[in-house]
Structure 1
């Protein structure tokens, strides 16, 4: 990437409701995307939001005990963001929504050229669940990230959903893994390509 002497960086925000070390289906699929990014020279860091204290709010720093400022620092020092969420009752997890709400503060933050800090960064979405609703979750999260200023490449998502009715989870059922992995690799390729393009020709600050 032309603007970055160091290797490009990515952060994956895993919005599972499970705390470590409980196995996460969402983590497992997100790791497919992370591996493809890593194979392209990208340094990838995972953050499991459930392990942190991220209180509700729309500010970058809510004071003592708030772990969000560390996450914010990762966001502004990364060129690629992946938000990974399970589906619950057909919607993104509550932690995925919390992440978007805390990222709202980025709308009023600018870089040294007057651009919103999310400009010239790309984002994508990973979704898992044993119920319907993957495309709804993808659209909800992608729409929020675009509002904040991220560029969303075409096909910047992958998902695994069992289908109608309850049943096994991603880690319990191999059905559909090949498709999800292939789609995840394409997602990583598209994220990387658009991040490179933005590094070479950045989006300027909005007109006055």
Structure 2
């Protein structure tokens, strides 16, 4: 009947084209860093790069300033100290790359699956991120607080969820905020076969992967926006310097006055 109020659309029902209208929020003051943990040095083709490019395009369309590192191109010394040249390494590129990490509101670690697990380069990058995890920010929190993290995984063998769990756990343990659906992956048929960018793989056209990559990209932007507008993650109950001084943030401590 004309004029009769219509019920709201049920959850999961198709929505109108207005859902794709640009949001009111702005993202052009955000920075994102993608770290490609492929085993292939530049300029070799990286299938992981193909998936990075989709997420990067979504963010750049909203004005996000995007930086990118192919980790294998840099001399990252093994170890868990901020500068491994102070611990016997002949050289170490991490101190310079760390500044690029800290300039970013969003960090996306991306890499391939090998033997059902993350690449050795991915593990090296996470170790070097961990090397700086004890550094404190101006609020006395661990340095990575106030930033959003996500991951992208590619391969033609099983293990995408296992790899994503490892990366996302590592990022949140270091202090990154992980939004909903903060990972995406493409995995081809088990066994030898085409990889993501190979002709006939179906990877770039895969709706499941494209949807998840888009959702991940937007959720990272939303999370970074919330954190930036709030002035970072609230600094109470998580300040290492205060804890070391005796403050226990409601944890019983009769010795603290």
TM-score (norm 2): 0.76
Does the C-alpha gap of structure 1 residues 6 and 25 become closer, same or farther in structure 2, counting only changes over 3 Å? closer
CA distance in 2, matches of 1:30, 1:193: 18
Q: Which residue of 2 aligns with 1:180?
A: 209
**Contact 1:128/1:134 (<8 A) preserved:** yes
CA distance in 2, matches of 1:40, 1:72: 25
Q: Which residue of 1 aligns with 2:98?
A: 72
Alignment of 1:22-33 (within 5 A): 22-33=44-55
- Equivalent pairs counted in the alignment come to 204
Q: Which residue of 2 aligns with 1:197?
A: 226
Does residue 125 (structure 1) correspond to residue 151 (structure 2)? The answer is yes
SS of equivalent residue, structure 2 residue 68? strand
Q: Which residue of 1 aligns with 2:6?
A: none
Q: Of 77, 86, 107, which residue of structure 1 is paired with 2:133?
A: 107
RMSD, aligned CA: 1.5
Q: Which residue of 2 aligns with 1:35?
A: 57
| Superposition misfits of 4+ residues, deviation over 3 angstroms | none
Q: Of 53, 63, 75, which residue of structure 2 is paired with 1:53?
A: 75
Shift of 1:6: 7.5
CA deviation profile, 1:118-137 (whole Å, cap 9, x unmatched)? 00100100000010000000
- Range moving further from structure 2, 124-133 or 57-66: 57-66
Q: Of 22, 31, 40, which residue of structure 2 is paired with 1:9?
A: 31
**Contact 1:106/1:116 (<8 A) preserved:** no
TM-score (norm 1): 0.93
CA deviation profile, 1:116-165 (whole Å, cap 9, x unmatched)? 11001001000000100000000011111111000111101111001322
Structure number with higher helix proportion: 1
CA distance in 1, matches of 2:108, 2:133: 18
- Range moving further from structure 2, 196-205 or 152-161: 196-205
CA distance in 2, matches of 1:53, 1:27: 20
CA distance in 2, matches of 1:157, 1:37: 15
Q: Which has the higher contact order (CA 8 A, sep 6+)?
A: 1
**Contact 1:55/1:66 (<8 A) preserved:** yes
**Contact 1:16/1:50 (<8 A) preserved:** yes
